[in-house]
Amino acid sequence: MLVVKNKSVGLEIPAEAEYIDVVRYTLYGIAANMGFSYEAIEDMKVAVSEAVNNAVLHAYEGSDAQKVDVRFETFDQGMQIIVKDYGASFDADSASSRAKPVLEQDIQRVGAGGLGIYLMQALMDEVEVTSEDGTEVIMTKFLK
């Protein structure tokens, strides 16, 4: 296993969908250098895409394009990905408690939205969402 010193890489992107790939490519480069497996990297890419997409779609409704900050914090045991927007906050605890698996449900009955937090929780080792001065999602993945 690689020994990783604590490092931080930050991105400030416009809150626009076309910049999500920039975040995914950055994540791939950092995670691959750390020694994460292909499967773990793919899981992290889906989770970070959900977090950034939520910020793009919901944080700045009705206002001009704003920004999303993304930070990758590495440490010996893994990585934290922090996604922060400065738009409208939401009740993170309530949304998290409603996040449930959709197993054995008819796909027609699964509504749009609400799956993002569940996906992040399913794909990452730890997920924390706070809604103060915008929304911040902190996702942690440990090296196995």
Per-residue b or e along 106-118, where b marks 16 or more CB atoms closer than 10 Å to that residue's CB: eeeeeeeeebbbb
Got the DSSP string for 30-65? HHHHHT--HHHHHHHHHHHHHHHHHIIIIITTTS--
- The Cβ of residue 41 has, within 10 Å, a number of other Cβ atoms equal to 19
When mean pLDDT is compared across 24-28, 63-67, 93-97, the lowest value belongs to 93-97
Q: Give 73-111 pLDDT, tens digit per residue.
A: 999 999 999 999 998 776 555 554 544 554 555 544 444
CA 16 to chain centre: 15
Is it the case that residue 39 has pLDDT exceeding 80?
A: yes
Q: Give 111-131 pLDDT, tens digit per residue.
A: 445 678 889 999 999 999 998
Is it the case that residue 43 has pLDDT exceeding 50?
A: yes
Write down the pLDDT at residue 1.
45
Write down the pLDDT at residue 116.
85
CATH of domain 7-142: 3.30.565.10
- The Cβ of residue 18 has, within 10 Å, a number of other Cβ atoms equal to 9
DSSP strands (E only) in 1-144:
7-14, 67-75, 78-85, 126-130, 135-142
Write down the pLDDT at residue 127.
96
Give the mean model confidence (pLDDT) for residues 25-33.
97
Write down the pLDDT at residue 59.
85
Taking a C-beta distance cutoff of 8 angstroms, is the pair 68, 52 a contact? yes
Write down the pLDDT at residue 115.
75
